[in-house]
Amino acid sequence: MRKFMLSVGIAALLLMLVTWLAAALGTESVSFQRAMTDAASIDHRILFDVRLPRIALSAVAGAGLAAVGAAFQALLRNPLAEPYVLGVSGGAALGATLVIAFGVPLAAVWSSALIPASAMIGGLAATALVYAIARAGTEGSATSMLLAGVIVNAIAGSLITFIKSLVSAAKAQDLLFWLMGFIDVPPITTLAAVTAYVSIGCAVLIADAGRLNLLSLGDEPAQYLGVNARRLERRVYIASSLVVGAIVSTTGLIGFVGLVVPHALRRMVGPDHRILLPLSMLIGVCMLIICDLLARASFHWLGTEPPVGAVTALLGGPLFLALLRRRANW
């Protein structure tokens, strides 16, 4: 318990520091005193209308992706498992793309509820397909699940490309911008809906943390200890699809957060998911806020802003390779 409280305290301090930096830094400097005391000032508008909503969306997305990554790695007992690799993100993106391309525009008022729902359905369909492919071959081994996820992800990506070729150039450009993994200023209704979806899904995952610990012993030992492995798998997949669907429908595809954060923390605090899941959420928040800050503040001299998905890949890829190299003693 002492180790857990110390870890949470350090993570909370890091989160406060990162949030302060993200609120203060950017293309324009902000005076917190003026922002808090003068509602008509440009500082107030920048802080409360732009930066804080964007920080909030980064926090929700980072927490959700890291929690799902930790749950998938526990479920499959494989450090390479994450929503993007398993095809859940690709399925969610396909579901949202179908609605955006042929139904609801991104700016529609009720898109904040319909697009996440369609993304969740797409994520669930992709998960079911991955599960069916893996079960058909080798009794659903972790390796089979990962390979099936790669296949489903490739199929989803091909279908998304095909759909973009069917719509107008303007809508195709909107879809491309969205799919690259951008964090923008969200409408308050969208932020509230995504927060609700992610909170419900993460609550389910945290409630199952103890059962995930038992499942790490293997399916049969967990069964003897009272864990219904198949029911737990279905519950985790449904909750994860809810979380990933909500995030992907708003930010597009953002990789490596769900891969790097839980993998690194597992080496630092151990495999107890009652500790690992909440810590992964806190560090996932920090990582995505930092990446978004780098995306919007580090390249403004070029007159552009790269997608945050590219920044997470640039930072997360080398970090994950370093972790793997250290583990394998290359």
Structural domains of the chain, ranges and CATH numbers in brackets: 2-328 (1.10.3470.10)
Closest CA to 203 of 251, 243, 244: 243
3-state class (DSSP) for residue 141: coil
**How far apart (Å, rounded) are the C-alpha atoms in residues 111 and 187?**
11
**How far apart (Å, rounded) are the C-alpha atoms in residues 226 and 212?**
12
- What are 169-202's pLDDT values in tens digits? 878 877 887 788 888 888 888 888 899 999 999 9
**How far apart (Å, rounded) are the C-alpha atoms in residues 4 and 254?**
28
Per the structure block, which two tokens stand in for 197? 């979806």
pLDDT of residue 110: 53
pLDDT of residue 330: 41
Is the full-model pTM beyond 0.95?
Answer: no
- What are 56-104's pLDDT values in tens digits? 999 999 999 999 999 998 888 877 778 887 888 889 889 888 888 876 6
Whether the pLDDT of residue 141 is over 80: the answer is no
Contact 129, 152 (CB under 8 A): yes
Radius of gyration of the chain (CA): 20
Closest CA to 89 of 262, 241, 308, 284: 241
> b/e per residue, 295-317, with b = 16+ CB within 10 A?
bbeeeeeeeebbbbbbbbbebbe
Per the structure block, which two tokens stand in for 328? 């394998």
Q: What is the CA 213 to chain-centroid distance, rounded?
A: 22
Per the structure block, which two tokens stand in for 38? 């003068």
pLDDT of residue 102: 76
- What are 220-277's pLDDT values in tens digits? 777 887 888 888 888 998 899 889 988 988 888 888 898 889 988 988 888 888 999 9
**How far apart (Å, rounded) are the C-alpha atoms in residues 62 and 73?**
17
Contact 93, 125 (CB under 8 A): no
**How far apart (Å, rounded) are the C-alpha atoms in residues 218 and 197?**
30
Per-residue pLDDT averaged across 285-307, rounded? Answer: 83
**What sign for the dihedral angle of Cα 25, 27, 33, 36?**
negative
**How far apart (Å, rounded) are the C-alpha atoms in residues 243 and 241?**
5
Per the structure block, which two tokens stand in for 147? 């390979």
Closest CA to 85 of 313, 328, 323, 319: 313
* Mean pLDDT of the chain, nearest integer: 83
Residue 301 has what DSSP assignment? Answer: G
